[in-house]
């Protein structure tokens, strides 16, 4: 599972699912923080107009602070480096987002090469990082297409719930289409089971389906992210869980995931 990248120093990993509420932002923040704690230099790019990854790192983007919207809407006008903000924790940086990003969908609809705006804007600024993690909107959009065009790999969180499981097929079809038409080097890093509760019959059944379905079983991470209230508490506090409470299940699960990612 996963492919080591040989051409660039940084690994560009999109965390994506067309269904909301499956743990995309939680995974971006906590995998990024876990990798940073392991000494890897990590850049998180918030490509969701809701800006939850920005808020989840406790970053408040001021109205005059450049963010990802400014970079993709005015190519060349702003150096991408100027939009990078420190999270306050070692090795972990952020290019923030806010609601202005929603306007990019309309502004770029008739622009030639619109699917490559993100890559053109940030590629050079990403080079010093070991990992670039990209949070995506909870639906297929031009922003998501930009992320897939720029990324090397897609990590797919799947909540252990029937609706999330059924949504995987549509997402995989989207990735196949992007690979065929825009980014032939895009690979699936893996499927990550999230919000797993051993006590529920449904959760156990969906995890078993992921483990046995021939479409997903070889892509499934060994790590399972367990349902854990501390993860929600850490998000409310604007801290990744590995900084908020390292002894929690959530922290241990994401540190284990980071070790698995590093082993590719």
- Give the pLDDT confidence of 151-163 residue by residue, as tens digits: 999 999 999 999 9
Domain count for the chain, please give it. Answer: 1
Within-domain flag for 4: no
User: What Å distances lie between residue 203 and 26, 90, 163, 166, 207, CA to CA?
Assistant: 19, 36, 12, 14, 6
Helices and strands, counts by H and E, the chain: 11, 8
Do the beta carbons of residue 56 and residue 27 sit within 8 Å?
Answer: no
- The DSSP string of 192-243 is EEEEE-TT-HHHHHHHHHHHH-TTTGGGEEEEEEE--HHHHHHHHTTS-HHH
For the chain, the average pLDDT equals: 92
Assess if residue 125 is contained within a domain: yes
Report d(CA 43, CA 128) in Å as an integer: 9
Query: What is the pTM assigned to this prediction?
Result: 0.93
Range of the domain at 99: 12-262
Element housing 92 (H / E): strand 92-95
Indicate whether 115 belongs to any domain.
Answer: yes
Judge whether 1 lies within some domain: no
Instruction: State the pLDDT at residue 236.
Output: 87
Residue for token digits 């940084």? 10
| Sheet with 187-196: strands ordered across | 85-86, 92-95, 42-46, 131-135, 11-15, 153-159, 187-196, 220-226
Q: Residue 136: which CATH number?
A: 3.40.50.300
In a domain, 98, yes or no: yes
Q: Read off the DSSP letter of residue 218.
A: G
Q: How far apart are the first and last CA of the chain?
A: 7
Q: Does residue 205 lie in a domain region?
A: yes
Cα 150 from Cα 169, distance rounded (Å): 22
pLDDT at site 8: 52
- CB-based contact 14:134 (threshold 8 Å): yes
State mean pLDDT over 10-20.
92
Q: Is the pLDDT of residue 171 over 70?
A: yes
Look at residue 1 and tell me whether its pLDDT is greater than 60. Answer: no
The answer to whether residue 6 is domain-embedded is no
Q: Is residue 7 part of a domain?
A: no
Q: Residue 146 is inside which H or E element, if any?
A: helix 142-150
d(CA 242, CA 6): 29
Q: What is the pLDDT of residues 232-261, one digit of tens each?
A: 899 889 999 999 999 999 999 999 999 999
DSSP 23-65: SHHHHHHHHHHHHHHTT--EEEEE--TT-HHHHHTT----TTS
């Amino acid at each position: 599972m996963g492919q080591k990248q040989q051409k660039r120093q940084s690994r560009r990993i999109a965390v994506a699912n067309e269904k909301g509420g499956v743990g995309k932002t939680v995974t971006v923040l906590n995998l990024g923080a876990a990798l940073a704690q392991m000494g890897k230099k990590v850049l998180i790019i918030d490509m969701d107009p809701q800006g939850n990854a920005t808020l989840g790192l406790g970053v408040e983007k001021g109205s005059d602070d450049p963010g990802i919207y400014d970079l993709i809407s005015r190519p060349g006008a702003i150096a991408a480096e100027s939009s990078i903000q420190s999270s306050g924790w070692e090795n972990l940086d952020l290019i923030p987002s806010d609601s202005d990003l929603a306007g990019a969908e309309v502004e770029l609809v008739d622009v030639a090469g619109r699917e490559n705006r993100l890559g053109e804007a940030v590629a050079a600024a990403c080079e010093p990082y070991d990992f670039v993690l990209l949070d995506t909107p909870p639906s297929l959009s031009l922003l998501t297409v930009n992320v897939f065009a720029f990324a090397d790999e897609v990590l797919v969180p799947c909540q252990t719930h029937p609706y999330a499981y059924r949504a995987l097929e549509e997402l995989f079809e989207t990735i196949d289409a992007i690979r065929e038409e825009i980014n032939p080097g895009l690979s699936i890093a893996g499927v990550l089971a999230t919000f797993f509760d051993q006590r529920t019959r449904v959760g156990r059944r969906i995890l078993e389906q992921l483990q046995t379905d021939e479409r997903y079983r070889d892509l499934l991470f060994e790590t399972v992210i367990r349902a854990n209230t501390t993860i929600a508490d850490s998000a409310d506090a604007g801290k990744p869980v590995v900084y908020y409470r390292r002894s929690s299940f959530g922290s241990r699960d994401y540190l284990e995931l980071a070790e698995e990612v590093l082993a590719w």
